[in-house]
Amino acid sequence: MKTYLVGGAVRDELLGLPVKDRDWVVTGATPEEMRQRGFKQVGADFPVFLHPDTREEYALARTERKQGRGYHGFTVYSAPDVTLEDDLKRRDLTINAMAKTTHGELVDPFGGREDIQTLSLRHVSEAFAEDPLRILRTARFAARLQPLGFTVAEPTMALMRHMVKEGEVEHLVAERVWQEIQRALHENEPGTFFEVLRDCGALTRIVPELDGGDTFSAALSALRCAHHNEGETSTRFAALVSPLTPAEARSRTKKLKAPNDCQDLARLTTSLMPQIRTMTSYRADTLLEVLDEADVWRRAARFTELLKALNCALPDAEQIKLGWLESARHAAMSVQAKELMAQGYKGKELGQAIHKQRLQRISESQQRQ
């Protein structure tokens, strides 16, 4: 039985990046032997085990062959005669298909080290095409390693284009797509993820609404800003979809099965954008409408995120409007429902009185602007 360090840890070490998780491949062993050595089997589909002390993952060397379409339908074969090279060959990119022996020797049958030197994201073999998720993974690695100068190798781009033409992307389940988008939004250059998807034709299948010249560049510049400001996932996502119409944003985020906070902020940002953009001066009624629609009174934290998304979505010349919203909010917040109740207002009339007084306070605050 032999043990090798594989995948991301070997790649990141060669890149001089911090190593997060260490994954291992074991050859020449059976599940029974692993269990006898105290390893705990996890995962029903693959023979993967946890080390009794380090809790790191040890997988028996395996091959995978595709049977059906999309992400499902792999036949896994694992036995003591599966070699390390067999296991590395089923992997996506050459930079992810290197291993290291316990003595520190590099095992690199597919030229991963050279691709690191030439800054290339290159597929290991035609088996890349068996898993459409790899298109998204490659785009995500491009987004992560872009600052180091990495690009997708032309043959890999050609293969990805071919996979897209064959309709492979349609077979991905929404949850997996979202998982990759979510991770991509936090990579070093999130915009590169969408550029690579656009280049290979996958963007039209995944978020078609973004795939137009002006919309695409507006989306990317808003996303760049949200990334620069270290925004949360929901803020980054809302910035990305900010050039879409509210209806487009709503149906796409639903189809993508984005989490509720992302759907919610995307909906709010896109629905308020037109109102804010058409407002040309400090108008108390429009400002209160926006504050009401954002339900700032009960959703203060969400409002803060909304301002961050709008900050990235609005052109520079319109940034002043965010200051107006803040002042209006501050003024309106000074209205005390309790005081109005003490004056005898209740029910519907109380609501109307609060609204009227908020409007008045916002108007007064305008005079102080």
Q: Give the interface with ligand CTP as residue ranges (CB under 6 A).
A: 7-8, 91-92, 96-97, 131, 133-134, 137
Rounded to the nearest whole angstrom, what is the least distance from the CB of residue 60 to ligand CTP in the complex? Answer: 14
Token code pair at residue 363? 């108007």
Residues with Cβ within 8 Å of residue 208, at least 6 apart in sequence = none
* Cβ–Cβ under 8 Å, residues 78 and 61: yes
**Cβ at position 315, least distance to ligand CTP in Å:** 35
Residue 230 is which amino acid?
E
| Nearest by Cα to 242 from 263, 273, 213, 212 | 273
> Nearer Cβ to ligand CTP, position 94 or 270?
94
The distance of closest approach from Cβ of residue 15 to ligand CTP in the complex, given in angstroms and rounded to an integer, is: 11
Of 39 and 110, which has the nearer Cβ to ligand CTP? 110
User: Which stretches within the chain are classed as H helix?
Assistant: 8-15, 31-36, 84-89, 112-117, 133-145, 154-165, 174-184, 190-199, 203-206, 213-228, 233-241, 246-255, 260-278, 284-293, 300-313, 320-333, 337-342, 347-367
CB of 194 to ligand CTP, least distance (A): 18
Question: To the nearest whole angstrom, how small is the minimum distance from the Cβ of residue 98 to ligand CTP?
Answer: 9
Instruction: Please identify which residue in the block is written with the tokens 């009624």.
Output: 285
Q: Quote the least distance from Cβ 173 to ligand CTP, whole Å.
A: 13
User: What is the closest distance, in whole angstroms, from the C-beta atom of residue 239 to ligand CTP in the complex?
Assistant: 23
What is d(CA 366, CA 323) in angstroms, rounded to the nearest whole number? Answer: 11
Q: Closer CB to ligand CTP, residue 144 or residue 227?
A: 144
Least distance (Å) between residue 91 CB and ligand CTP: 3
C-beta separation of 93 from 121 below 8 A: yes
Q: Which residue is nearest to ligand CTP (CB)?
A: 8
In the bound state with ligand CTP, the residue whose beta carbon lies nearer, of 92 and 232, is: 92
Q: Helix (H, G, I), strand (E, B), or coil: what is residue 6? A: strand
For ligand CTP, the closer CB: 27 or 242: 27
Q: In the complex with ligand CTP, which residue's Cβ is closer, 21 or 170?
A: 21
**CA-wise closest residue to 86 among 61, 57, 49:** 61
Closer Cβ to ligand CTP, 95 or 354, answer by number: 95
| Cα–Cα distance for residue pair 325/307, rounded to 1 Å | 9
Query: Given CA atoms 222, 224, 228, 232 in this order, what sign does their dihedral have?
Result: positive
- The residue (of 62 and 236) whose beta carbon lies closer to ligand CTP is 62
Distance of alpha carbon 201 from alpha carbon 132, whole angstroms = 13
The residue among 181, 92, 103, 182 whose CA lies nearest residue 129 is: 92
